[in-house]
Amino acid sequence: MRTHRLQGFVAGLLVSSAAWLSAQVTTQPVVGISTSEIDAVLKYTGSEGAGTDRQMRVIDLGAYRLGIGVLHRGPTRAGGPVGAIAHSQVTEVFYIISGSGTLVTGGTVENERPFPPDTEFVRLAVGPSTGGTFKNADRRPIAPGDVIVVPAGVPHGFDDIADHVTYLSVRPDTSGVLPAGYVHPVLRK
C-alpha cells in the first residue's frame, strides 16, 4: 500500500509540475524514483548526500528545476528549543511517508543566521537558507499521508517526534539555485 501511495504521489507531483509550466518547457523525459531507490538513499552511509536531508535528484525541466529529496528525522528532545530553518528561494512540498510529530512554522526566529553557502545541504538540497530557534510559532500535527506546502522564506521545523518522521520533499526551483542534473551517489548508474 505504501509503495502505491508513494509512487502515485511522486508521479502526480511530477506530472502536475510539468503541466504547470508546459507552455515554457520543452518535452522532457519522464523521471521515476522507485520505493526501493528511496530506501537505498535512506540507508546510504557514504560521504556525499548522507545527512538528514538527502537530495535524490535535481531534474532540469527547462524553465525550472525540480529537486526530490527524502528526509529522516529521529526523536526530538521534550521541552527543548525547536530549530527553525527557512529557504529564501526554494519552496518545499512534504509528503509524510512514516512516523509522526508536530510541524512548527512561522512565528519569530531568534538568533537567525545564514547557513554557509558551501555546505552540501545548501548546495544540493535547498539553496540559500537561514536557521535559528522558534519563538511563538504555529504548530500542527503530522502523520503518514499528509502533504504540506512550505513556501520559500517561511521558517519551519519539527517537534514532538517520539520515534521518527520520514518524508519526501519536492522542491520547485524557479531561481536555478539547485544543481541541474544532480543524482544521489547510490542512484548513479
Which stretch of DSSP H or E encloses residue 43?
helix 35-43
- The pLDDT of residue 99 is above 50: yes
- The pLDDT of residue 68 is above 70: yes
For the domain that residue 9 is a member of, what is the CATH number? 2.60.120.10
The whole model's pTM is what?
A: 0.84
Residues 6+ apart with CB under 8 A from 126: 53, 67, 87, 90, 92, 171, 178
| Domain total of the chain | 1
As a whole number of angstroms, the distance between CA 172 and CA 178 comes to: 10
Residues 6+ apart with CB under 8 A from 94: 103, 142, 146, 147, 148, 149, 150, 167, 168, 169
Query: For residue 170, what are the domain limits?
Result: 2-175
